[in-house]
Chains A and B, each alone.
Chain A
């Protein structure tokens, strides 16, 4: 084992990490938004909307993320061509982002739903008794409390998402793992670069989950 060539490769690896982190940030943002919307639909009194949202969640929870990534990689350009009528080039980054947002939204939806349901029913009554509409009560009273409670879970899910971004390797996107793999191959030290990549993922995930644990303790006290 000879790790001496890794320092020279750090700038390139950092570029890969930036792709990973950008994908993570946009992915979390998009899927928390979509997931919250789905959760509100699932809890709505309209059986059609609730049914659609729950079918969405069940569907994405029962198929592999990797399948979604690969499928969307093939399908997004097709779909765009149907919509716009012309060839619109989309890179692997965009198709992967769409895949992550749609897939992870199903998981965030369940977290948000549990969060909303953990808020006592009287809070909704009290908000409505003050003349707030359903939407205002959700936005101003229920969701702020729910999000506070579920912050640790949302962060934990985001750590999982951080690790899952490595699956974009399958469609050739130059994320951190792919950058490490291809660099290792070029230099002829694939093992060292692979171990280094694993180590980086471990340190980031481990540190993040320790922070989440601490936050969780502070929230429960």
Chain B
């Protein structure tokens, strides 16, 4: 065995200023969160809209939403990311293209690409969950709301969506956890998020087991704590007597 275990590696200087390796992990963690959170906001908004469209009687609207889902679900995430990062900027009008390629720092342009990519990718999955949630509601709910004179928009906002979202908290939680994990693909276009920092630490220090163990622990802890947090939220918003609610 010629491997030198050294758990103190994280407190060693990187040789750049007075940085230690732990600082890299902190910075990487920050990027990971920044990608996941903003991507999630896009996914939730767009996904909810698409999910509602899929339940509408209008064939064109539900068809568009369904085509969106098929397209974004059947192309690998990494291919989508490359398309957003390498191809889309070239298709932009020249001033925008120059802004993206020259004015923005490499980190910012990578960040923008990955956020848009993950947001749209995850929206397809959120859409399916929202649709399932709405369709799981008894048909009588829509009828009752219509009988009260509510309009379509009101029915969705006031009656269907508030119930549907409560039902789909668990699958939405796992989609949120997925977006955190998926954000690691950003490392492949040079964004120094958690995985990229881990890989870099492993290569600089040759303490690869320590570096990857720490990264694993961070992902694991983040996942577990978010899961517990979402379970708490689920209980908190549960309606007594409703599906999954208390008595």
Contacts and interface: CB of A to CB of B under 8 A. Distances in A.
A163 B73 CA distance: 10
Given A62-B177, A64-B195, A201 B1 contact: no
A201 B75 contact: yes
B208 A74 contact: yes
Contacts of B215: 67
B165 interface: no
B209 A66 contact: no
Contact of A74 (B188, B202, B224): B202
B100 interface: no
B90 interface: yes
A198 interface: yes
A32 B70 CA distance: 26
B74 interface: yes
Interface residues of A, number: 34
Contacts of B80: 198
Main secondary structure of the interface of B (DSSP, over half): helix
Contacts of B216: 59, 63, 67, 71
A59 B224 CA distance: 10
A82 B3 CA distance: 9
Contact of B90 (A82, A164, A167, A191): A191
Nearest to A65: B181
A63 B76 contact: no
Interface residues of B, number: 37
Interface in A19-39: none
A66 B195 contact: yes
A177 B87 contact: no
A190 B79 CA distance: 12
Interface string A133-158: 00000000000000000000000000
A78 interface: yes
Contact of B76 (A62, A67, A170, A201): A201
A191 B86 contact: yes
Nearest to A168: B78
A197 B212 CA distance: 31
Nearest to B2: A81
Given A67-B195, A75-B212, A198 B83 contact: yes
Contacts of A67: 184, 195, 198, 212, 215-216, 219
